[in-house]
Amino acid sequence: MRSTPIQLADGRELIYFDLPGDPPRQGEDTRELPPPPPASELRFDPMRGDWVAVAAHRQERTFQPPSTHCPLCPSTPEFRSEVPGPYRVVTFENRFPSFSDRTSENRIMPGIRPGEGRAEVMCFTPDHEGSFAELDARDVRLVLDVWAARTEAMSALPGVEQVFPFENRGEEIGVTLSHPHGQIYGYPFIPPNVRQILLYLESDPGAFGYRLSREQSDERVVAANEHWTAFVPRAARWPFEVHFYPHRQLPDIPALTEEERDAFAPLYLDVLRRFDALFDLPLPYIAAWFQAPVNQARETFRLHLQLFSIRRAPGKLKYLAASESAMGTFINDVSPEQAARMLRDALPPFT
């Protein structure tokens, strides 16, 4: 993998990532841009024990522009985008970040502090009409290597406690740009869902290994190979939810071996294509990497990917209504066993 960093017109960093043999990347960002906004403000809710990021500048972010004015496509003479030239995979600091290191104007008082951290956009492909499922295994391996490199870089930033790569796909999920892309957050705190896992690991350090061994012998396995198992969890919250576990205990993406990285690509592509084959239409989904925090539970937390969709049937979505949104209690309309069976039957068996 080759990386080529450049600076955008407003001082933000952009990095091209390429495979051997790709042409050299160049191009100057000739736009006139205002300075990036200051970091968000973090406000603490003591009754819940959670931090909330207040990022009012994100109200101004670009929303569903026409394809001729997509900020994630390579720039053309007619439209200067966020990416000055052609690319294979690219990351750059979000122009409307949830977290950043530009904290000088933030106030600091009890329960309020700057939203220090990092928020990057990651474009998997220059093809505006493409999708992650349409990548080939070589490009997925490159994406995985980029996730690893950015996890290492963000983990070294002052104040970052958790690195979170993810992809939101589909207008139903709430994406504001239809171009295939994801993001990477460097949180300045440990998010609630990870914190809950850490509390459980204190009493049962081997919980991840036990879960994997139980799921590997269950009817909810969707696909597997020598290094990974993809399964619908027994207590799935979402209509179609698949977790990808590496067979070794390891804390984060950088810890994956070459063989494990190679093995991930075909398995992940297979399940993504099963998602789209379920109802013969692109399924909206969230793909979320759970990694060990930067400074905690490095020996007990197991890297894994959670992939889930809010679509429960053709023309029907799973909304987070009162029970889920107010009480945090999920009610799933599709049994995990049924979901796994539907996904296995959507395409020929994985090999």
Per-residue pLDDT at 129:
95
Predicted pLDDT at 102: 86
| 202/42 Cα distance (integer angstroms) | 27
Comparing CA positions, the residue from 63, 129, 53 lying closest to residue 97 is 53
With a CB cutoff of 8 Å and minimum separation 6, the contacts of 144 are 253, 256, 261, 264, 265
208 and 150 share one domain: no
Q: Which of 189, 207, 226 is the last residue of a domain?
A: 189
Q: Is residue 173 part of a domain?
A: yes
Q: Are residues 229 and 103 in the same domain?
A: no
From the number of C-beta atoms within 10 Å of its C-beta (0-12, 13-18, 19+), residue 315 rates as exposed
Q: Which of 181, 227, 243, 304 is catalytic?
A: 181
- Whether residues 185 and 281 share a domain: the answer is no
Are both 234 and 341 inside the same structural domain?
Answer: yes
* Spatial distance between the Cα atoms of 39 and 115, rounded to a whole number of angstroms: 5
Indicate whether 133 and 64 sit together in one domain.
Answer: yes
Quick one: what percent of the chain has pLDDT higher than 90?
Answer: 89
* Structural domain ending residue among the three candidates 158, 189, 220: 189
- Type of residue found at 311: R
Distance CA 160, CA 188 (A): 4
Residue 77 lies in a domain: yes
For residues 170 and 296, membership in a common domain is answered with no
- Looking at the structure of the chain, the number of domains it has is 2
Mean pLDDT of 188-213: 96
Structure confidence at residue 106 (pLDDT): 58
**Nearest 10 degrees: Cα torsion 166, 145, 185, 91:** -100
- Do residues 266 and 143 both lie within one domain? no
| Whether residue 183 is found in the same domain as residue 199 | no
Residues 101 and 155 in one domain: yes
- Would you call 181 a catalytic residue per the annotation? yes
Task: Answer whether residue 208 is part of any domain.
Answer: yes
Taking the C-alpha atoms of residue 13 and residue 4, their distance in angstroms, rounded to an integer, is 11
Model pLDDT for residues 100-155, shown as the tens digit of each residue? 988 765 566 888 999 999 999 999 999 999 999 999 999 999 999 999 999 999 99
| Residue/partner pairs of 200-207 with CB below 8 Å, 24 or more apart | 201/297, 201/300, 201/301, 205/299, 205/300, 206/300
CATH number at residue 318: 3.30.428.10
Whether residue 38 is predicted with pLDDT greater than 90 in this model: the reply is: no
User: Where in the sequence is the domain holding 72, given as residue range(s)?
Assistant: 2-189
DSSP E strands in the chain: the ranges are: 2-7, 13-18, 41-45, 50-54, 89-93, 112-114, 118-123, 162-169, 181-187, 221-224, 228-231, 240-246, 285-290, 304-309, 311-313, 316-317
Query: Where among 189, 204, 219 does a domain terminate?
Result: 189
- Tokens describing residue 256: 């994956």
CA gap 200, 99 in Å, rounded: 28
Q: Are residues 153 and 228 in the same domain?
A: no
The reply to whether 351 falls in a domain is no
Least confident of 38-47, 269-278, 301-310: 38-47
Q: Which of 244, 233, 268 lies closest to 350, judged by CA? A: 268
